[in-house]
A and B are shown apart, each in its own frame.
Chain A
Amino acid sequence: VIEDAEARSEDRFARPFDVCIVGSGPAGITLARRLGAKNLRIGLFEAGGLELTAESQDVYRGVTSGTPDYYPLDACRLRYFGGTSNHWGGWTRPLDAYDFTAKPHHPLSGWPIGKQDLDPYADEAADILNLTPDRPPPDLFIAPEPGLTPRLFRFSRPVTHFGEKYRAELEASKEIEVVLNANLVDLKLDESRRSVTEAVFRTYERPEPFSVKAKAFVLCLGGLENPRALLNADSQAPDGIGNENDLVGRYFLEHPHAPVGKVVVRDPLTRMLVYSPTPDFMRSNAILNFGVRIGDFEQWNAIDFTGALAPQPPCTVDFDTLLAAAMKGEPPPCPAHVGDVFVACEQELNPDNRVRLIAEHDRFGLRRIELDWRVSEMDLRTLHTAATEVAARLAARDRGRMQIVDWLLNGGAPTADRLWGGNHHMGTTRMSDDPKTGVVDANGRVHSVENLYCGGSSVFATSGHANPTYTIVQLALRLGDHLSETLR
């Protein structure tokens, strides 16, 4: 069922749930459906309603600092049923096996789980996300290029807006109770402070809070709100729940995105090309993972883009003429032979990239956040290496030529017009076997609390270069299996 907390009866939530999930984005809805299918009784609490409202969205306001400037925090995510999937672009890739490993040149890197732990959920994640078919990635090099691997992005088409796709199913569900307009304001711990006894919510119109009991609680609020909820839950834990080691909110990760140049290529571009470094290349160059995307920037921003570029007429112009025209800044005689080059890369773990509470409060009395995001030397070196390696290899193999943007070639500042984030908020309750290096364990459980879990990209230990939603869904399915076993 789907109901409105504003209209609740006084004893509406007297009966405990098996699992109380807070947040109805990709992680929350996926987890609820997984647990509901196991016949567990689930409460799925969403702070907004079925549609976007200004009063709900205002709760996301915050401040940003660092370089480059970040997006307004109430514009880069959505606070209503379906969460930020409501404006998701639909780009997906799994993390690579290498992404889960510890690298000597990247301190604290490495996950307590591996790709093999998420692979069993690949098919179900693809079904949930309406993914375009898996296929060999296109490659413009004739022979395998040492150090670079062609990669494929799969697209959610039509884009899975979780609220729209699963609304009817959830309305009909007997196991899952979706409660709208329920804003989490506190988590109550037992006397030992090792267990959550109830989650406290408020609505917009009724002043009195209401409490929900459950055997387990899962925060699926996104990479900025998960730490905010934990840090604000300070009535019994002065530094916030799970924050014994001052880690909650730290190690925020984004995917630095940058247009790095343009290319003229010998063979026409028919699909977006993506190249990533091999593990040996990353290790030997002490860089992070990246995805170089080659294609038409205007096309790949289209909502129906699936990787295929619009067909162009056959070209009868020779390569030197195409290249000379591009170098003179003239319009391309054959558009299929020119492309934009864009890089999205992994980000280095940095404890000072963080979400912290500020003095200003929202309408529910919870402190708002400041997001401090900046890029590191290793991040920039990764972007630079991505661009220069592809450019040099195109020339070396005579497959094309690339022009690299001046700031990247000559060491300019990474200002917001040159480099930006992908609205990917990760790492703020990172996963680790060691409570001194992570907030949650390999199952997503907050180390210091027996029945409190985090879902979503806040648990990412590192970011890889791939867009996070696919991994978020895999992790939610896995967490569902873990909780159903634990609670049985």
Chain B
Amino acid sequence: MSDETVFTTRKSGDVLVVRVHLKSFDLRRSREFRQGAEQAIGNEKKVVLDLAEVEFMDSSALGTLLPLMRRVTDNEGDLRIGGLQSRVQVLFELTRLYRVFSIWPDADAAVASFAA
């Protein structure tokens, strides 16, 4: 198993930014990501998932995002996504999940969208 850090978090005002540090976000680390991210998100209402470093993503990684979104929306919050690279963007289009998530060009734009 790789020692690569899966994700880190930072606060930008009242928005929690979760930045994934995996170049290949796939079955090898998706469960670890989900468990850690759920804990990190806790009761936050404004969450941005920054995927700018992710070059490749598979279906198992994609499947971790919906429970995270549900967790935030059940808490009357919103989870937005920023920084999709082309391979990852294709995945969202194939599965039509771009209709489900609020997707922004980068994390800063996603953070700023909460103030709009």
The yes or no verdict on A and B being binding partners is: no
